């Protein structure tokens, strides 16, 4: 399973940017070529849409995933950051301080 989004207004060198997310292969099906076939399909779709850049994120605690993405030609380029909100938590505007 995976999701590919096309970011029309976040262009890279005049081309559309694609974002791949939610990549999931059940453990019992890993190392059987399924992930590679899935990515070949997704990357072909991105090329058909005129994308100049495809990006994804992966959890730094999953070195096997990082190795897999690098084997497909992806290179580490950014540090991702997250901010989690607790359920029903009031969000305060930090910019007004």
pLDDT value of residue 46: 93
Structure token digits, residue 12: 């890279």
Q: Residue 19 and residue 6: Cα distance in Å, rounded?
A: 6
Going residue by residue through the chain (97 aa), what tens digit of pLDDT does each one get? 788 888 776 666 777 889 999 889 999 999 999 999 999 999 999 999 988 899 998 888 999 999 999 999 999 998 888 888 887 777 666 665 5
Q: In the beta sheet, which residues pair with residue 62?
A: none
pLDDT value of residue 92: 67
Q: Is 6 helix (H, G, I), strand (E, B) or coil?
A: strand
Structure token digits, residue 6: 């096309």
Phi/psi for 69 (5° steps) reads -65, -40
Phi/psi for 80 (5° steps) reads -85, 150
| CATH for the 3-91 domain, from 3.40.50.970, 3.40.630.30, 3.10.450.50, 3.40.50.1010 | 3.40.630.30
Does the predicted TM-score (pTM) go above 0.85? no
């Amino acid at each position: 399973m995976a999701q590919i989004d096309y970011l029309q207004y976040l262009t890279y060198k005049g081309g559309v940017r694609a974002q791949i997310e939610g990549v999931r292969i059940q453990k019992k099906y890993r190392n059987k070529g399924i992930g590679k076939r899935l990515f070949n399909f997704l990357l072909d779709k991105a090329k058909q849409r005129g994308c100049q850049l495809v990006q994804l994120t992966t959890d730094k605690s999953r070195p096997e995933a990082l190795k897999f993405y690098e084997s497909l030609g992806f290179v580490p380029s950014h540090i991702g950051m997250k901010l989690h909100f607790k359920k029903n938590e009031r969000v305060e505007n930090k910019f007004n301080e």
